[in-house]
Amino acid sequence: MTQSVEHAIAAFEPHFPLAVALSGGADSVALLVACAQKWSHRAGAGGLYAIHVNHNLQSAATQFEAHCRALCAQLNVPLIVQSVDANPASGQSPEDAARQARYKAFSAATQNQSAPSIASIAIAQHADDQIETLLLALSRGAGLAGLSAMPAQWERDGISYHRPFLQVAGADIRGWLDQQNLPITPRFIEDPTNADARFTRNRIRAQLMPVLRAVFPQCLDTFTRSSRHAAEAEGLLQELARDDWQRVGSAADCNLQALQSLSRARQANVLRFWLKTQYATIPSTVQLQELQRQLQACTTRGHRIHLKVGSGFVQRRGKVLTWYNQPVFLL
């Protein structure tokens, strides 16, 4: 079931110091206001902070930053502003470039002398965002990891990240914010890019979500429940992969014979685990299938395996499989 803002914040117990990721939009403003109300005694001085990341991608960026500064001044919450270059590299999507720049900025903000040792960062993504993420994953033919959508809590670069609103409907967040007596006008800034139909997520929000709500009125509850089920199943697969890795792992490589002794499904599972944990590489479905085909055919000492996987190559070296980020030609 979806939650109210009050219930979500009451259940939110992060480690301090805590920073709220503040974009200036309605959701992040509501999260900061709710946190400031709950922990008014902890603003600053090792307690509550806000982080604003200026992506420098649109003319409204300066307006967003100015609004965040004014809001934090009114709430008496120290604000850290990180300015980044979020322009995408060749072949990179604008969304991914902005996301990567944002997390780098968050990590850098934790080293800010005015807010030492930030332990937790709260992000205001909510139940509607979760459904959009699930639909995007479905459109890509994602597995359990993708269908798990966004986790409510995770670790990255030594920081604990939280999404306390993940079971709160976006409309309920705005309704709650409308009821707050904020000493600032406007209460939040609308991001102009949210109406840009070039972005798939925006088309889902504007065109698909109203239809889903009409056909499946409880979709926020039922779809997010499915994502939680997928996340539980993915967690079990990761536990199994860690156990299998103890059998097939040889330093950072895979023992060929032990790998071949596994069922096809467990073999695929531990291969994904190996490539991700040891080499930060995620194989495509086609690459993984071809790797398994070559493994099945590898029955002689001289059989060669050399396959492009991710940004590098999987190769056989004697009794193990290894991965290189550039080809190694064996004599």
Q: Which structure tokens are listed for 216? A: 């499946």
What's the whole-model pTM score? 0.88
Report the amino acid identity of residue 194: N
Half-sphere exposure of residue 295: CA atoms within 13 angstroms, side-chain side = 25
Strand partners, 49: 19
- Quick check: 164 and 9 in contact, CB under 8 A? yes
What integer pLDDT is reported at residue 61 of this predicted model? 87
Cα–Cα dist 180/166, whole Å: 21
What integer pLDDT is reported at residue 46 of this predicted model? 64
Please list the rounded mean pLDDT of every run of 10 residues in the chain (331 residues): 93 95 96 94 75 86 93 94 81 77 84 75 97 96 95 93 97 96 88 87 95 96 95 97 96 94 97 95 94 94 92 93 72 42
Please return the burial class of 122, using the count of CB atoms within 10 Å of its CB with bins 0-12, 13-18 and 19+: buried
- SS3 at position 32: helix
Cα–Cα dist 27/23, whole Å: 9
Q: Which structure tokens are listed for 271? A: 């291969």
Q: What is the largest CA-CA distance in the chain?
A: 75
Strand partners, 20: 50, 122
Q: Find the length of the chain.
A: 331
Buried b (16+ CB within 10 A) or exposed e, 141-150: ebbbbbbbbb
